[in-house]
Chain A
Amino acid sequence: MATANTVHGRIESARPALTTPRVALGLTLIAILGFTLLFVQEPLVHDSLHNARHAAGITCH
């Protein structure tokens, strides 16, 4: 590990692994999951996750 132990060094050392498809895939998965749990108001999805939202204290209808 040639890079220094700084935030900058971490970004540098991760760069080779961060290919565009991987980043795109990762961000998409996180966005889908986060969006579904936090913001989707589609009745079917929302009603299904209703208790989980209240239990996590996320604002709800």
Chain B
Amino acid sequence: MLESYLVRGLKAGLVAGVALGLFVAVLANPMIAAAEGLAGDHGGHHASDGSGGHHAGEGGHGGQEASGVLGVVSAPLISVVGGVFWGLLLGVLTFGLAFYFLEPAIPGTGATKSAIAAAGGFVTVSGAPWLVLPPQPPGVEQALSTDARLALYAGLMLAGLSACLLAGYVYTGLRDGGRGRALVGAAVPFCTLVGLAFVLPANPATQSLPVAFVAAFRAQVVFGQAMVWTLLAGTHAWLAAGDETDEKQFATDVGVDDPVTAD
């Protein structure tokens, strides 16, 4: 049973991953190259955050010239592959593992469950961290050091996950007392999460890029991740519905009691 969930997660992840890979290739790579072009040649900005000294002297990431592992494959190409793996990882973790264990506790049925799982995944992986560390184009100087920001990002992922689990728990607990009350109760953890973002250290950024460009870049990133989670949820719901029909069909054909283990 766990296996069929993992396989579904992997398939959904592959669909979303390939889409994200295409997104990186067609939209993100040119956008980032443009950002590096706009930021001009003050390549030294990387050295200022303490841990980025390795970037100094190479003029940022070198725009078009950037080379990846061993200099054989270009970095933008590896990023496309990275996008595919990002989708796979999210698919297996959210819709393979987490969905298998949490499915009974997720409100709704069928596609609604998939959509709620995807929303929870988005809040955990991107939404919560973005409250403090919004997506930035390359070439932006940020007040906090890289290490501090990575730790903060990881911590906020944990906070986002906790908020989602807590909201689910509260919703299930209050559901019998009316749906409105349950929804209000479920909103409390998310409000706490937003409140938390104001308490945490601010990360003011200075940039030489036009404000409109930064806004467009952020919109693009948000669109990309929203697309990933929508595709994950959609593919997963579609696969789950199909598998369920197959299992019922198989059960009636063969007359087994336990269609789930009969793969």
Contacts and interface: CB of A to CB of B under 8 A. Distances in A.
Interface string B168-207: 0000000000000000000000000000000000000000
Given A10-B104, A47-B66, A59 B2 contact: no
Given A47-B61, A47-B68, A37 B82 contact: yes
Interface stretch (B48-56, B111-119, B236-244): B48-56
A54 B85 contact: no
Contacts of A45: 69
A57 B130 contact: yes
A49 B126 contact: no
A30 interface: yes
Interface residues of B, number: 65
B135 A57 contact: yes
Interface string A40-54: 010111011111111
A55 B149 contact: no
Contact of B24 (A44, A52, A60): A52
Interface in B66-89: 66, 68-69, 73, 75-76, 78-80, 82-83, 85-86, 88-89
Contacts, number: 145
Give the interface size class of chain A.
35 or more
A7 B105 contact: yes
B224 interface: yes
A11 to B, nearest CB: 6
Contacts of A11: 101
Contacts of A49: 75, 78-79, 82
Contacts of A17: 2-3
A17 B211 CA distance: 53
A54 B61 CA distance: 13
B222 A55 contact: no
A24 interface: no
Interface in B157-176: none
A51 B89 contact: no
A39 B154 contact: yes
Contacts of A57: 126, 130, 134-135, 218, 221-222, 224-225
A25 interface: no
A54 B147 CA distance: 16
B2 A48 contact: no
A10 B103 contact: yes
7 contacts: A14-B100, A33-B88, A44-B68, A47-B66, A51-B24, A58-B129, A60-B138
Interface of A: 1, 5-7, 9-11, 13-14, 17-18, 30, 33-34, 37-39, 41, 43-45, 47-61
A-B complex: 4 closest residue pairs judged by Cβ atoms: A52-B82, A57-B135, A55-B28, A51-B79
